[in-house]
C-alpha cells in the first residue's frame, strides 16, 4: 500500500545524478484524493529524477495501469487502461509554482509532492470519450436514455421557420 506521504520526495536531500522511485497506487490512493472521476484503480508509477544542480532536477514520470470509471454512455463502471510518460523540470524557488513543463518548489522545505502530479498525468492519458465497446453497455440504461430522449423530443414543438429564411430558400430553388 502506498500513502500520499510516500509520494513526497525531498529534492534537497537527493544526491547528484539519477535517483529512481517506484510506487503501486491502488484504490486507497484514489479515495484519499477524493476526486469524482476515478474512485478505484491500480496504477504503477515510476519516477526517475536526475539532479543536475543544487536547485534543479529533471523528472521523468512513467505511469501504467487500469482505472475504473463510469462509461460515458451507460454510466456503468468500466476498466480504462492508462499508459503515460512525461518530462518535467523540478526547481527550487522562492514561491511554489507550476506550468506544463516546470515545477517550482518552495526552497525552504524542498519537498516535491508527486501525489497530485501523478493523478493529473493519469487523467491526461485517458481517452476523451470513455465508453464500453459496442454491445457491452448496460442495455436497460440505453433503453431508458432512448425513451427519455424520445419523450423530450415529442414534448417540444418544432419551432416555426422564420419567414425570411423561407424566402431565401425559395430564391435559391428558383435559381
Query: pLDDT digits over 26-50, tens only?
Result: 999 988 887 778 879 999 999 999 9
88 within 8 A of 102, measured Cβ to Cβ:
yes
Neighbours of 155 (CB within 10 A): 7
Output the pLDDT for position 68.
93
Average pLDDT on 147-155 reads 68
Q: Report which listed range, 4-8, 10-14, 154-158, 162-166, is most confident.
A: 10-14
Report whether 106 contacts 112 (CB < 8 A): no
Domain that holds residue 131: 1-175
- When divided into structural domains, the chain yields a total of 1
Q: What is the DSSP letter of 15?
A: P
pLDDT tens for each residue of 55-80: 999 999 999 999 999 999 898 999 99
Does residue 175 surpass a pLDDT of 90?
A: no
Mean pLDDT to the nearest integer, 11-20:
94
Contacts of 123 (CB under 8 A, 6+ apart): 37, 38
Q: Kindly tell me if the per-residue pLDDT of 1 is higher than 60.
A: no
> How far from each other are the two terminal CA atoms of the chain, in whole angstroms?
74
Amino acid at each position: 500500500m502506498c500513502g500520499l506521504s510516500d509520494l513526497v520526495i525531498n529534492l534537497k536531500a537527493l544526491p547528484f545524478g539519477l535517483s529512481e522511485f517506484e510506487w503501486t497506487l491502488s484504490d486507497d490512493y484514489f479515495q484519499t484524493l477524493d476526486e469524482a472521476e476515478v474512485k478505484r484503480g491500480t496504477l504503477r508509477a515510476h519516477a526517475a529524477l536526475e539532479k543536475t544542480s543544487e536547485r534543479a532536477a529533471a523528472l521523468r514520470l512513467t505511469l501504467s495501469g487500469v482505472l475504473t470509471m463510469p462509461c460515458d454512455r451507460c454510466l456503468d463502471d468500466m476498466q480504462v487502461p492508462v499508459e503515460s510518460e512525461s518530462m518535467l523540470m523540478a526547481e527550487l524557488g522562492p514561491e511554489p509554482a507550476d506550468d506544463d513543463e516546470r515545477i517550482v518548489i518552495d526552497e525552504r522545505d524542498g519537498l516535491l509532492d508527486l501525489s497530485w502530479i501523478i493523478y493529473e498525468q493519469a487523467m491526461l492519458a485517458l481517452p476523451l470519450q470513455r465508453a464500453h465497446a459496442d454491445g457491452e453497455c448496460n442495455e436497460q440504461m440505453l433503453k431508458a436514455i432512448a425513451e427519455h430522449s424520445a419523450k423530450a423530443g415529442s414534448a417540444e414543438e418544432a419551432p416555426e421557420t422564420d419567414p425570411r429564411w423561407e424566402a431565401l430558400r425559395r430564391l435559391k430553388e428558383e435559381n
